[in-house]
Amino acid sequence: MRSEGEGSASPAIGICAAVERVSWGVWDSYEVTLVPRSYVRCVQKAGGIAIVLPPDELAVEDPDVLLDRVDALILAGGADIDPSSYGAEPHPETKGTWPDRDRFELALARRAVERDLPVLGICRGMQLLNVALGGTLVQHLPDAMREAHRTVAGTFSKHHIRLDPESLACTAAGVEGFIVWSHHHQGVDQLGEGLKVTGWSAEDDLPEAIELPGRRFALGVIWHPEEDENSKVISALVDAARAEKSNPSGRRDDKSNGVSQIGPSAGGMRQIGPSGGAA
């Protein structure tokens, strides 16, 4: 249990909630907002306070309503992103989308980047960060013979990745190469404006980490650090949030910096080829 002093100094970490239909007890196909407890445990273990953020139309119009209340943002994993968010038609394997969740998280992600609020995208969250900055997605990786990232639906796969040693991703993870827990059938295609790929799958060079240079902490990882008890990635976000909490005057808050203008029709996107670099 945190002491009163410890609690007051703990950074608040907003975790975007999934929207799903679930069944439990006598209830069947009940619509809920939820976050896997592993995210909450990781935030708490690192000394943060976990705050679950369900989709909210008010926050779509004014993300600061929620962002003013947190010191960092986690864009958590979950369902496929609606392809209309990046100007594409749905692939037959793109399923279970929740457009209201997408609108909410895209608004929060764009505004968090504007404000230089620490943000971490995990799996779907990495993909959403890319879309928020004008990028697009490969909707079904097996079409490109990339099978290592979700071998069995509902079971995490393990594979090796490598990180740019000079990157935020490497600093957060604390190691250049390691085995990750993975469960996704989509990936980054065209890279969003300003983003840089800093992690790759050792098996097929698929982008595994993206980040936005020049920001305090704007990172997306396609793997699931919350499922690895030895991972330092979420702890690194909490540390960045703690620094943010102690020095809020250093936060950018410039609505004229052009980030808010980035979207599916924006220019400046780069194609990610088989080598994982810009093609």
Choice among 16, 105, 114, 123 that is catalytic: 123
Residue found under tokens 């909707």: 139
Q: Would residue 226 show up in a list of annotated catalytic residues for this protein?
A: yes
Q: How far apart are CA 15 and CA 7, in angstroms?
A: 18
Q: How far apart are CA 169 and CA 208, in angstroms?
A: 10
- Given CA atoms 206, 158, 145, 133 in this order, what sign does their dihedral have? negative
Q: How far apart are CA 75 and CA 129, in angstroms?
A: 8
Q: How far apart are CA 80 and CA 216, in angstroms?
A: 28
What is the number of other CB atoms lying within 10 angstroms of the CB of residue 141?
Answer: 20
Choice among 105, 114, 211, 226 that is catalytic: 226
Task: Find residue 196's DSSP bridge partners.
Answer: 211
Q: Would residue 123 show up in a list of annotated catalytic residues for this protein?
A: yes
Distance of CA 54 to the CA centre of its chain: 15
Using DSSP, state whether 77 is helix, strand or coil: coil
DSSP annotation string for 177-191: EEEEEE--S-EE-EE
Choice among 211, 224, 227, 244 that is catalytic: 224
Active site residues: 123, 224, 226
